C-alpha cells in the first residue's frame, strides 16, 4: 500500500506541512499589503459596501457603484460617510434641490391655476430648508457640499416644461406628491438612526408639513380630473 519506507514517508509529510505553512504565510502577507494599500481611503471596503447598500435602500438614491455615477444627484458625490446625520443632510439637500427647480420654473407661469401660488410657497419654504442644511453640513461636518438635482427629478422638470394649462397644473401636483412621498420615506428611515436632536426635529417638521401638502395636493388633482 505504501511504496516508501516509513522514514521517507514521515519526511515527505513534514515537507508537505512546511509548504502549506509557507503558502498560508504568503497569503496573509498579501492580504496585509492589500489592506495597507487601501488604508489611506476615507472608506474601507467594508464601510463602502455598507454605504452603497444604505444609499441603494433610499428612494431615488443609488450609490455610484450601482448607478455608474450617472448624471444627476449622485454624480461627483463621494458616497455615504456612515454618519446618519451627515448622510441625511447630503441626501435631503439633493432632494430639496430637485423640488426647488420644479417650483422655481412654475411660480412665474400664468396659465396653470393654483399651481403658481403653491409653487411660490414651496420654493420659499424648501429654499430656506436647503440653506439651513447646507450651513449645517459646513459648520458641523466641515463639508462644503454643493447640492445637485438628481436625474429622476431633472426628468420631471424636463417633462413638465413641455406641458401647459390644466395638463401642466395636474402634472405639477402629481410630481410634488411623488417627491414629498420620497422625502417622507427618507425621513422615516433616518429618524431611528439620527443623533442630532435639532436635525431630527427639523426632519419631523418636514415630514408633518409635507404629509399635509400631499393631502391638499391630492384633493386638487382629484378636482382637476383626468
Domain spans in the chain, listed from the N-terminal domain onward: 78-224
Domain 78-224 sits in CATH 1.20.1260.10: yes
The closest alpha carbon to 59, from 190, 196, 222, 225, belongs to 190
Ramachandran assignment for 39, one of left (phi > 0), alpha (psi -120 to 50 degrees), beta (any other): alpha
Q: How far from 101 is each of 83, 95, 159, 216, CA to CA, in Å?
A: 28, 10, 13, 21
User: Is the CB of residue 183 less than 8 Å from the CB of residue 95?
Assistant: yes
Q: Where are the alpha helices (DSSP H) in 72-114?
A: 84-106
Look at residues 207, 201, 190 and name the one whose alpha carbon lies nearest to residue 85. 190
Query: What's this model's pTM, rounded to 2 decimal places?
Result: 0.67
Please write the tens of the pLDDT for every residue from 117-161: 999 999 999 999 999 999 999 999 999 999 999 999 999 999 999
Predicted local distance difference test score (pLDDT) of residue 57: 45
Amino acid at each position: 500500500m505504501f511504496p516508501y519506507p516509513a522514514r521517507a514517508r514521515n519526511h515527505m509529510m513534514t515537507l508537505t506541512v512546511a509548504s502549506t505553512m509557507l503558502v498560508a504565510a504568503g497569503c496573509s502577507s498579501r492580504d496585509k499589503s492589500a489592506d495597507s494599500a487601501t488604508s489611506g481611503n476615507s472608506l474601507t471596503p467594508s464601510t463602502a459596501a455598507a454605504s452603497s447598500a444604505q444609499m441603494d435602500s433610499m428612494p431615488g438614491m443609488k450609490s455610484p457603484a450601482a448607478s455608474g455615477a450617472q448624471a444627476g444627484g449622485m454624480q461627483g458625490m463621494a458616497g455615504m460617510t456612515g454618519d446618519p446625520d451627515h448622510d441625511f443632510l447630503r441626501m435631503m439637500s439633493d432632494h430639496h434641490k430637485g423640488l426647488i427647480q420644479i417650483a422655481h420654473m412654475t411660480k412665474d407661469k400664468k396659465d396653470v391655476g393654483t399651481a403658481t401660488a403653491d409653487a411660490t410657497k414651496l420654493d420659499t419654504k424648501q429654499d430656506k430648508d436647503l440653506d439651513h442644511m447646507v450651513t449645517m453640513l459646513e459648520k458641523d461636518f466641515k463639508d462644503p457640499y454643493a447640492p445637485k438635482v438628481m436625474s429622476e427629478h431633472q426628468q420631471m422638470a424636463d417633462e413638465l416644461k413641455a406641458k401647459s394649462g390644466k395638463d401642466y397644473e395636474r402634472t405639477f401636483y402629481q410630481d410634488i406628491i411623488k417627491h414629498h412621498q420620497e422625502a417622507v420615506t427618507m425621513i422615516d428611515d433616518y429618524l431611528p438612526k439620527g443623533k442630532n436632536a435639532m436635525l431630527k426635529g427639523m426632519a419631523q417638521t418636514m415630514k408633518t408639513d409635507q404629509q399635509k401638502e400631499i393631502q391638499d395636493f391630492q384633493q386638487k388633482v382629484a378636482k382637476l380630473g383626468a
